[in-house]
Structure 1
Amino acid sequence: MTTLSDLKLDPAQHQQIKDMRVMIVSDAAPERNGVGAYYQDLIQYMQPEVADLAIISPIIREDGSWEGGINVPLPGDTTQKFLIPNFFKISKQMKAFKPDVVIVPTPGLIGLAGAYLGQKQGAIVLHGFHTWFEALADLYWGKIEGALNRGYFWVSNKLLFRWSDVVVANSDEMVKIADDFGSKKSYRVGTPVAYQFINTPPSAPVTQVKKVLFAGRLAAEKNLQAIIDAARSQPALQFSVSGDGPERKLIEQAARELPNFTYLGWLSREQLMARIDQHDCLVLPSHVESFGTIALESMARGRVTVVSRNCGICQWPDLNKGLFIIEPHSSLSDMLASLQNIDAKLIKQKTSEGRSAANALNDWSMGMWYSLLGSLRRS
């Protein structure tokens, strides 16, 4: 795990990070989607290295209700909420904390409030640009709803890029979009892997694929139908799906119809790691995927990891050595069929290389974050 002592920062940069007060202001509840998980993992590593770290974000209670503002179901996905926050409360919290850096990873009203108030209070604002929501418009919304939502995200992104000093993204494609939107400075950063995924010894190495897992939001962009089709065409394999989202009924129906298909419901991160270890293979056949953190977590656990070419993780050459990639002319069913004919030694080699690559990316990612924080100066 990369720490400040591992980096060749000059003394001023090192001390700057140690003295830094960092606040994350996000519309994403921890663990509920990729962005929430990303910053929860980042906090695990960053918290011991800075003077203080705080987060303002929604909280999901045990009964499933959301705390953090007036909330309405997100169009196209009632399991996610659009929150109208108490701006005065957020302003009061930020004034009391006195952040040097405000990190804003979402384009909702909480994120907009964080960016606006952060720059007003003289903090350096860093925008995490992780999802190009406009690309999801046709999957979630009709013509009128899609136009309205695209309009909102266009305005929101314009404001965030105007109020932010720095933008970070997880792929070259997203960096280019940020640049096109008028970002002042844009950087590609990596994705940290949850501490327990890296530091807990993995289960026995995989030698053959018999149990297949999908974990993530049950939404149109994830191409869940490909998993159902694969279960139908590969009856000897056992398929499990975890998560929640607008296409949950599709998954529940498949679980009723197919004897080799199980719906696990939503899992906490600890439960998710245990389930990954219990399976041989994780699949992510998405139509749209900015990165694909779950695939990186699967690699860190030494599992066979299958992703579509649409996943941003494929843009990282060092990670490709640990991935089985579904090309546009192929399908998940085809890939799983081909895996049945691969030698056990090759599978062990591939998963071992994947775990090493995930560890290396985790170290590089945190090194990049620390170097970026050490370079920040208010002009």
Structure 2
Amino acid sequence: MKGRNGVGAYFQDLVAHLDHEVERAELVCPSLEDPHPCQGMSMPIPGDPTQRLFFPKMRELSALVWEMKPHVIVIPGPGIFSLGAYWIAGKLGIPVCVTFQTDYDRLVQLYWGPRLARLAGGLLNWLNRAMFRGSSAVATICDSMIADARAAGARHPQLVGTPLGAEFVNSEVTPLADEADSVLYVGRLAAEKNIEHFLALAEARPDCRFTVAGDGPLRGLVEQRQKDLPNLNFLGWCSRERVVAELDAHQVLVLPSAVEAFGTVALEALARERLVITTPVCGINQWPALARALTVAEADEPLADTLARLRAMTPEQRREQARAGREAALAMNDEAVNGWLQVLQGCARQGAFLPKPRRSPTLAVLRRLSTNQARPGL
């Protein structure tokens, strides 16, 4: 969903950048605040009622694709919207680029029991393999997922970076304070994010100020701990503008995830010239220029010890690390846009070799509608 999870934010930022590079880039994405004309009914996702599974309005989606005639359709993995777009692309002979950004096996194991997780994971992997076989390109966001994509059936997966929203790049940054005593978490309050470890850190360091921004199935746990810990503040879900303000008001961002393909919020914090603590599983650690600006927790190291290591540095050392982080984040942003342009150009070239689509009644109606030849009321 737009603005509600990492994948939604990723494509929101990517399309904003592509708007300046291509003739037209259209984001078809469900949104709670600003519903897209192509989004239809929805239902809560099992295990996380704060997220919803949306069904597309296929007539509207087909009409949009037919009107736009895109050179490439990009789909982010095996969702209902993605499957609808994949089917339409096949009918019209439009090249498809599939992105592989989530470790589905790990996620379903966290939310469901062994039997259901095995069934759901198998279904998601089967859908991925099917879409990989019919796609012109597969793109992923860290080195480890290249191997996972190959194992799932992708022939030549390509590595692309992560873009940044303009809010994190264009406004002037606030200088880092001398003391690293204000700590922020931004993200979904869910099992894969290890929010319990962040709360344990707040309890272990009463001399520091801690803030949680986000929403999810573990919201009740955060609200309860806020009552017990005077140094913990809970903001709930925040707009992107508010996230920028909170990053600027804190000195350290902590990403304590147990499953994290990349960790966009860590990149956003680096762009705001902030110190960032990550866990070893975060995909952002696999980008060398970014990793040099991160403080990565050792395996099984309590976050309190990781924070102590960061606080043991001199203020100037911390400021130098933060400046290096901003430079690396801005470079990643440029590399991500250029990398995506290369992937999309490669896909578009393949479109010339695809078979012509078969004419179907639905597409024939859309064709007549697009040329104003339809009878009144059709």
Partner of 1:273: 244
What is aligned with 1:59? 31
Q: Say whether residues 1:207 and 2:181 are aligned partners.
A: no
Aligned length: 350
Residues 67 and 113 of structure 1, relative CA distance in 2, 3 Å threshold? closer
**Is the 2:8–2:29 contact (alpha carbons within 8 Å) kept by the matching residues of 1?**
no
Equivalent residue for 2:320, pick from 342, 349, 358: 349
Higher deviation after alignment, 234-243 or 114-123: 114-123
Report how far residue 154 of structure 1 moved.
1.9
TM-score by length of 1: 0.89
Secondary structure of 2:305's aligned partner = helix
Give a deviation string over 1:282-326, Cα, whole Å, max 9, x none. 000111100000000000000111100110000111111110000
Aligned partner letter, 1:178: A
Q: In structure 2, the residue corresponding to 1:56 is in which secondary structure? A: coil
Task: Confirm whether residue 42 of structure 1 aligns to residue 9 of structure 2.
Answer: no
Aligned: 1:71 with 2:64: no
Residue of 166, 181, 190 corresponding to 2:152: 181
Give the structure 2 partner of residue 14 of structure 1: none
Q: CA deviation at 1:86?
A: 2.6
Residue 114 of structure 2 aligns with which residue?
143
**Higher Rg:** 2
Question: Residues 103-132 of structure 1, C-alpha deviation per residue, up to 9 Å, x if partnerless?
Answer: 101311111111221132121101111112
Q: Does structure 1 residue 285 correspond to structure 2 residue 256?
A: yes
1:146-161 matches, cutoff 5 A: 146-161=117-132
Give the Cα–Cα distance (whole angstroms) in 2 for the partners of residues 200 and 77 of structure 1: 34
Instruction: Assess, with a 3 A threshold, how the Cα gap between structure 1 residues 75 and 47 changes in structure 2: closer, same or farther.
Output: same
Structure 2 counterpart of 1:33: 5
Q: 1:129 aligns with which of 67, 86, 100?
A: 100
Shift of 1:234: 0.3
Counterpart secondary structure, 2:15? helix
Tell me the residue number matched to 1:22: none
Q: How does 1:164-313 map to 2 (within 5 A)?
A: 164-313=135-284
Name the % identity: 37
Are 2:370 and 1:371 aligned? no
Task: Give 1:157's aligned amino acid.
Answer: N
Say yes or no: does 1:115 pair with 2:86: yes
Q: Is the 8 A contact 1:59 1:67 kept in 2?
A: no
Farther off after superposition, 232-241 or 156-165: 156-165
Contact 1:170 1:190 in 2 (8 A): yes
| Residue 65 of structure 1, CA deviation | 12
Please give the per-residue CA displacement for 1:174-196, whole angstroms capped at 9, x wherever unaligned.
Answer: 11111122223310000011122
Amino acid aligned to 1:268: S
**Which amino acid is the alignment partner of residue 295 of structure 1?**
A
Alignment root-mean-square deviation, CA: 1.8
SS at match of 1:363: helix
Alpha carbons of structure 1 residues 144 and 197: separation in structure 2 relative to 1, 3 Å: same
How far is the alpha carbon of 1:360 from its aligned partner?
Answer: 1.1
CA distance in 2, matches of 1:206, 1:135: 38
- Matching of residue 99 in structure 1 with residue 93 in structure 2: no
Q: Distance in 2 between matches of 1:328 and 1:206?
A: 29
> 1:168 is matched by which residue type in structure 2?
A
Consecutive unaligned residues of structure 1, counting only runs of 5 or more, are 1-28
SS at match of 2:183: strand
* Residue 66 of structure 1, CA deviation: 11
Task: Give the partner amino acid of 1:265.
Answer: G
CA distance in 1, matches of 2:337, 2:239: 23
Q: Does 1:162 align with 2:133?
A: yes
CA distance in structure 2 between the partners assigned to 1:87 and 1:326 by the alignment = 46
Instruction: Report which stretch shifted further, 200-209 or 228-237.
Output: 200-209
**What's the TM-score once normalised by structure 2's chain length?**
0.89
Gaps of 5+ in 2: 354-378
